């Protein structure tokens, strides 16, 4: 909301509120941005001096402020304080940051169907609270709807007077803007909650087309169209056109109730928020909170059946080709003992692998990610080339160890055979001496020696 500096004639303090900036001016007076001693910010409206001297206006103003005090709801700007007996009566409502619906459409153009339905659902809930308090707004229009970060808010409950070429500003007549007035207001008939339904339908049509459903022109021309001509809804999306047409019916009895309108707008908002293919929007959408969530739609995220198929394919790929993460090149491979062992005789009995012939001291390579067909992915270096992965490097180490161990075993066997002598080592039997034929004695227990 645009703010302006205070002018010389503007007050600096009103009641217990200190004024900081001008927020705007209307038929009733000037609206200021103020704050109390606790720092709470308010939108404070001070009544014009000429209206303050009118006792009829004071009585009417007092009744409407009393009715506004009874309104409860999250989609309304809460009345904070008021002084009806001051020289210039004033009232303060909760300050709502954010642009008006009129400024938003004027700057950014027509809103999407999801946004319009979401805003309409929130506004209908706000009107439901207003009507339950026995109040009829009578001047619902795009400039009286503020789009805050927490959702749209309705301001000026039944006490707003607008100015300009297309505004009725005479005391004692129906107040409001001709492009958004209901036919019964133009005729001077009693207003009912259906009056606000007509204004809400015209407001939502404006959000869809950036123009009043009764066009532009002087007050007299537009009031005639409101009473005698049908609303122009050519630019309204098909999802909203039938509902808005029923809201703009000439007979108040033909318009939907506030509760029915709220429920139908919620259904449209939920359907439009999921997109044409049934998939949810990236930021979701909800009536009443975060009206801007429906502004962006995903460009690359599948929706509906495509989303389910995409999720199923991801699940199948994860179960078929997912394994333990690739080890860092600077870290040694994880030991075999650290990995879970399959159930087998040795592990089940708790035997030592060294006693059962198993090998210890060797490290098993960490498993690497595999593709969809189970093939291993080659490891890429920082320069973009390929180098052997952990499995090839371990295989090379095993071959080297096997060759070294084989050579050591062969050398050990050769050394052991050399210690036993050349004859035994070469497998040649040593000759045995034979006694001569004369029967001489070779030595004790020698050949040919007789035992005693």
Q: Are residues 81 and 139 in the same domain?
A: no
Q: Domain boundary at 43, 70, 95, which?
A: 95
Which pLDDT score, from 0 to 100, does residue 305 have? 54
Strand partners, 152: 147
Provide the CATH number for the domain around residue 2.
3.30.200.20
Q: Are residues 262 and 275 in the same domain?
A: yes
Q: Domain boundary at 50, 76, 95, which?
A: 95
Say yes or no to pLDDT of 372 above 80: no
Q: Are residues 134 and 157 in the same domain?
A: yes
Residues 6 or more apart whose CB falls under 8 angstroms from that of 418 comprise 425
**Enclosing domain of residue 68:** 1-95
Q: Are residues 83 and 126 in the same domain?
A: no
Q: Using CA atoms, how far apart are residues 34 and 12, in angstroms rounded to an integer? A: 9
Q: Are residues 19 and 109 in the same domain?
A: no
Structural domain contains residue 73: yes
Residue 2: band (very low, low, confident or very high) from pLDDT cuts 50, 70, 90? low
Strand partners, 257: none
Say yes or no to pLDDT of 145 above 90: yes
Strands 29-35 and 41-47: antiparallel
H-only helix segments in 387-433: 390-419, 422-426
For 10-24, 81-95, 286-300, which range has the lowest pLDDT when averaged over its residues?
Answer: 286-300
Which value, to the nearest 10 degrees, does the dihedral of the CA atoms of residues 237, 238, 240, 241 take? 100
Which DSSP letter does residue 54 get? -
Q: Using CA atoms, how far apart are residues 214 and 224, in angstroms rounded to an integer? A: 10
Tokens representing 42 are: 């308010």
Structural domain contains residue 346: no
Active site residue 10: no
Provide the CATH number for the domain around residue 206.
1.10.510.10
Tell me if residue 186 falls in helix, strand or coil. Answer: helix
Q: Domain boundary at 95, 115, 149, which?
A: 95
pLDDT tens, 373-421? Answer: 444 545 454 444 555 455 778 888 889 999 999 999 998 888 888 765 5
- Report yes or no: 151 and 288 within 8 Å, Cβ to Cβ: yes
Structural domain contains residue 320: no
pLDDT tens, 232-282? Answer: 999 999 999 999 999 999 999 999 999 999 999 999 999 987 765 444 333
Structural domain contains residue 282: yes
Structural domain contains residue 363: no
Q: Are residues 282 and 133 in the same domain?
A: yes
Structural domain contains residue 70: yes
Number of structural domains found in the chain:
2
Which pLDDT score, from 0 to 100, does residue 381 have? 47
For 20, counting Cβ atoms within 10 Å of its Cβ (0-12 exposed, 13-18 middle, 19+ buried), the class is middle
Instruction: Provide the mean pLDDT of the chain.
Output: 73
Which residue is catalytic, options 139, 156, 238, 391?
Answer: 139
Q: What is the pTM (predicted TM-score) of this model?
A: 0.58
Structural domain contains residue 387: no
Q: Are residues 43 and 64 in the same domain?
A: yes
Say yes or no to pLDDT of 443 above 50: no
| Phi, psi values for residue 425, rounded to 5° | -65, -30
Q: Using CA atoms, how far apart are residues 275 and 304, in angstroms rounded to an integer? A: 9
Q: Are residues 126 and 82 in the same domain?
A: no
Q: Using CA atoms, how far apart are residues 144 and 21, in angstroms rounded to an integer? A: 19
Which pLDDT score, from 0 to 100, does residue 36 have? 92
Q: Are residues 91 and 236 in the same domain?
A: no
pLDDT tens, 34-75? Answer: 999 999 999 999 998 888 888 888 887 887 788 778 887 668
Q: Are residues 81 and 186 in the same domain?
A: no
Tokens representing 296 are: 């962006």
Which pLDDT score, from 0 to 100, does residue 275 have? 63
Q: Are residues 77 and 152 in the same domain?
A: no
Strand partners, 92: 44, 81
Using alpha carbons only, give the angle 74, 79, 85 rounded to the nearest 5 degrees. Answer: 170
Q: Are residues 107 and 155 in the same domain?
A: yes
- Report yes or no: 364 and 339 within 8 Å, Cβ to Cβ: yes
Structural domain contains residue 372: no
């Amino acid at each position: 909301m645009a703010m302006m500096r205070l002018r010389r004639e503007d007050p600096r303090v009103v009641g217990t509120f200190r004024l900081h900036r001008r927020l705007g001016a209307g038929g009733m007076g000037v609206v200021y941005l103020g704050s109390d001693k606790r720092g709470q910010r308010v939108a404070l409206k001070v009544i014009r001096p000429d209206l303050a001297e009118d006792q009829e206006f004071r009585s009417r103003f007092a009744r409407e402020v009393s009715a506004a005090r009874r309104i409860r709801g999250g989609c309304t700007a809460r009345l904070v304080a008021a002084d009806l007996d001051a020289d210039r009566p004033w009232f303060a409502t909760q300050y709502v940051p954010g642009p008006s619906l009129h400024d938003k459409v004027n700057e950014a153009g027509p809103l999407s169907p999801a946004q319009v339905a979401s805003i309409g659902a929130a506004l209908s809930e706000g009107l439901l609270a207003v009507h339950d308090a026995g109040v009829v707004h009578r001047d619902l229009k795009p400039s009286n709807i503020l789009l805050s970060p927490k959702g749209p808010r309705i301001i000026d409950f039944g006490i707003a007077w607008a100015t300009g070429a297309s505004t009725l500003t005479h005391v004692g007549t129906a107040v409001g803007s001709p492009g958004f007035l209901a036919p019964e207001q133009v005729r001077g008939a009693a207003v009912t909650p259906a009056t606000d339904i007509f204004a809400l339908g015209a407001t939502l049509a404006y959000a869809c087309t950036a123009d009043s459903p009764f066009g532009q022109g002087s007050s007299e021309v537009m009031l005639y169209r409101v009473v005698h001509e049908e609303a122009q809804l050519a630019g309204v999306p098909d999802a909203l056109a039938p509902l808005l047409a029923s809201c703009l019916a000439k007979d108040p009895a033909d318009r939907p109730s506030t509760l029915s309108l709220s429920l139908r707008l919620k259904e449209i908002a939920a359907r439009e928020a999921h997109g044409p293919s049934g998939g949810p929007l990236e930021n979701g959408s909800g009536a009443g909170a975060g009206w801007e969530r429906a502004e962006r739609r995903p460009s690359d995220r599948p929706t509906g059946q495509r989303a389910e198929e995409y999720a199923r394919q991801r699940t199948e790929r994860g179960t078929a080709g997912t394994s333990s993460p690739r080890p860092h090149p600077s870290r040694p491979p994880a030991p075999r003992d650290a990995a879970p062992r399959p159930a087998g005789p040795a592990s089940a009995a708790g035997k030592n692998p060294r006693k059962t012939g198993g090998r210890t001291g060797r490290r098993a390579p960490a498993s690497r990610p595999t593709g969809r067909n189970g093939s291993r992915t080659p490891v890429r270096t920082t320069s973009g080339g390929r180098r052997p992965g952990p499995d090839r490097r371990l295989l090379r180490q095993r071959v080297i160890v096997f060759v070294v161990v084989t050579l050591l075993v062969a050398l050990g066997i050769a050394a052991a055979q050399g210690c036993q002598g050349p004859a035994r080592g070469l497998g040649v039997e040593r000759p045995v001496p034979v006694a001569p034929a004369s029967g001489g004695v070779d030595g004790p227990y020698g050949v040919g020696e007789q035992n005693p």
